[in-house]
Amino acid sequence: MKNILIASTSTLANQNYLDYLLPELQLHFQNCNTILFIPYARPGGISHEEYTAMVSLAFAKINKKVIGIHEFEDANQALKNAEGIFTGGGSTFVLVSQLYKNNSIEILSEVVKNGTPYLGTSAGSNICGLTMQTTNDMPIVYPPSFKTLGLIPFNLNPHYLDPDTNSNHMGETRETRIKEFHAYNSVPVLGLREGSWLDVKGDKITLKGDLTARLFRQNQAPEELESGTDLSFLK
């Protein structure tokens, strides 16, 4: 049975890394001593080692050990053996490229579908959707495909931002970009604000956190969904 947490962000303003999620994570990873960490998204271009050290510090607070997937000779065997998996944020393009390079996309999808507890934040959440086509990230490397894990039957836009009504900036708003996505694609997109997450238990997908989330569907007006909403109806 799927057991997945998909968070918009790792970090809330003025808080430490993962702090707001730690009570959830204690439950989520209750049967794991060690978390396999996927540091491939390399936020700010930091190394796999630096990123893993930062994540270890956070998980130490709930007495979990963290091992970076880059420390294993066989990344796919590490995925198969993992007690729990966390994929951190950074560049979705870099993350997806590396997963394809390792031939890990299908294996990662499979082990999580078979029940290995998974946590994603930001880029690590983006990859839970059908494709990475609604990421906010810059295309700094060219992945062999935009197809991702398909752990949920729709796409995400993490760090969802409402239009700034005071701004004179003429660049596209997030909503405009998602509308453009729907000119070419019929996949629903959930705009997940910072502090929201999805709790996936089997086929049940529940919106968690204090905020509403914004749902975009092709040829329909966007909708605000309350925390606690069961999203299993989305296809």
To the query of whether residue 196 is one of the catalytic residues in this protein, the response is: no
Collapsed DSSP state (helix, strand, coil) of residue 67: strand
To the query of whether residue 159 is one of the catalytic residues in this protein, the response is: yes
141-170 residues in contact with a second copy (CB under 8 A) are 141-142, 145-146, 159, 161, 168-170
Residues ≥6 apart with Cβ < 8 Å to 76: 102, 103, 104, 107
**How far apart, in Å, are the Cα atoms of 40 and each of 90, 98, 139?**
8, 7, 15
Tokens of 146: 């935009």
Residue 86 vs 93, nearer CB to a second copy: 93
Active-site hit among 122, 125, 196, 199: 122
Diameter of the chain measured on Cα atoms? 51
Tokens of 42: 């390399």
Asked if 177 touches a second copy (CB under 8 A), the answer is: yes
Whose CA is closest to 118, among 176, 210, 32, 55? Answer: 32
The piece of 25-33, 107-115, 126-134, 203-211 that touches a second copy (CB under 8 A) is 126-134
Collapsed DSSP state (helix, strand, coil) of residue 86: strand
To the query of whether residue 125 is one of the catalytic residues in this protein, the response is: no
Residue 63 vs 168, nearer CB to a second copy: 168
Name the one residue in this structure whose structure tokens are 């950074």: 90
Q: Mask 83-112, x = binds a second copy (CB under 8 A)?
A: -------xx--x------------------
The piece of 73-81, 106-114, 177-185, 209-217 that touches a second copy (CB under 8 A) is 177-185
Active-site hit among 91, 137, 196, 199: 137
Q: What one-letter code names the amino acid at 221?
A: A
Question: With contact defined as beta carbons under 8 Å apart, do 56 and 107 qualify?
Answer: no
Asked if 13 touches a second copy (CB under 8 A), the answer is: yes
Q: Nearest distance from residue 70's CB to a second copy, in Å?
A: 16
The whole-angstrom separation of Cα 61 and Cα 71 is 22
Catalytic residues: 122, 137, 159
Binding site for a second copy (CB under 8 A): 9, 11-14, 42-45, 90-91, 94, 132-142, 145-146, 159, 161, 168-172, 176-185, 194
